[in-house]
Amino acid sequence: MDLTLWHQSSFTQNSLPTWRCPSCGRGVLNLVTERFRFEETYESRRLHEDEAWEPYWIKYTFIGYLECSYCHGHIAFCGDGNVDEFTEYDPEHDVAYPEYQNTFKPKFFIPPLPVFEIPSRCPDAIKEAIDDSFSLFWCDVTSCANKIRIVLELIMTDQKIPRFTYKAKKRLYIKLHKRIELYRIKNTEIADYLLAIKWIGNEGSHTKSLDRNDLLDAYQLLETSLNKLYDDKESNLKKISKE
């Protein structure tokens, strides 16, 4: 996972992050300039009547398409934007003057951009839940964290950790924390990773203090866990080393 890439939350029409194509995974996405459209919001237009109005008060919504450099597939995306103000210095005349630039922040991608590569041997139900979390990464941090928490439940089920216990002939749900503790008997290292992710997911359920950095922490732990569970590379290397 390229953390530098996912920390970039905005773009301009002349400069995009190097997002990878979600369809082929090989090409880089480029803006289809002739199909990119942005409009100033109604509330933003009303502010022009204010005598103190400045260009950086402007707010936009946008919609557009990205094209893969390899497979030429198209990805739709939309979001909002604003005008950023910065200072440009003219050394010849020793003067600084304000410059303005339209900056945009994506909210939705269809199909969603994968934050990390999911191992091919990962069960479909887990893949689908992770894809659901990717679709929320840009627009709703707390909902994304909740989706990641659901992924943990699915991993525990796939690892044969029971979902229920029975008491007085009643079926009772086993809490995720307890399920992970039961899994610790089988794999301490991964259980520690999953428990850390669970705490991040809990924050998404009970508070609004999460930010995108927390999600990226969870994704790093999840990526490592999935690679250890569903990717043969590490076990093959250990086998070669032993031989």
Per-residue pLDDT, 232: 67
The two beta strands, 170-173 and 74-90, are unpaired
Please say if the pLDDT value at position 4 is more than 70: yes
Please say if the pLDDT value at position 233 is more than 70: no
Read off the pLDDT of each residue in 128-136 and give the average, rounded to a whole number: 96
Six token digits for residue 70: 């390899």
Please say if the pLDDT value at position 221 is more than 90: yes
Transcribe 16-75 into DSSP letters.
---PBPTTTSSSBEEE-GGG-EEEE-HHHHHGGGSTT--GGG-EEEEEEEEEETTT--EE
- Give the pLDDT band of residue 115 (cuts 50, 70, 90): very high
Per-residue pLDDT, 235: 57
Per-residue pLDDT, 48: 94
- Give the pLDDT band of residue 234 (cuts 50, 70, 90): low
* Three-class SS state of 4: helix
Please say if the pLDDT value at position 130 is more than 60: yes
Read off the pLDDT of each residue in 172-200 and give the average, rounded to a whole number: 93
Count CB neighbours of 151 within 10 A. Answer: 24
Single-letter amino acid code for the residue at 65: Y
Which tens digits make up the pLDDT trace of 39-61? 999 999 999 999 999 999 999 99
Pair 19, 113: CB distance under 8 Å:
yes
Pair 125, 155: CB distance under 8 Å:
no
How far are the Cα atoms of 101, 207, 219, 234 from residue 134, in angstroms, in the given order?
A: 29, 20, 10, 26
Per-residue pLDDT, 203: 65
Which tens digits make up the pLDDT trace of 18-32? 999 999 999 999 999
State the burial class of residue 233 (Cβ atoms within 10 Å of its Cβ: 0-12, 13-18, 19+). Answer: exposed
**153 Cα distance to chain centroid:** 19
Q: What percent of the chain has pLDDT over 90?
A: 73
Q: Tell me which residue of 151, 154, 179, 177 sits closest to 165, measured CA to CA.
A: 179
Average per-residue pLDDT for the chain: 90
Read off the pLDDT of each residue in 82-92 and give the average, rounded to a whole number: 81
- Give the pLDDT band of residue 72 (cuts 50, 70, 90): very high
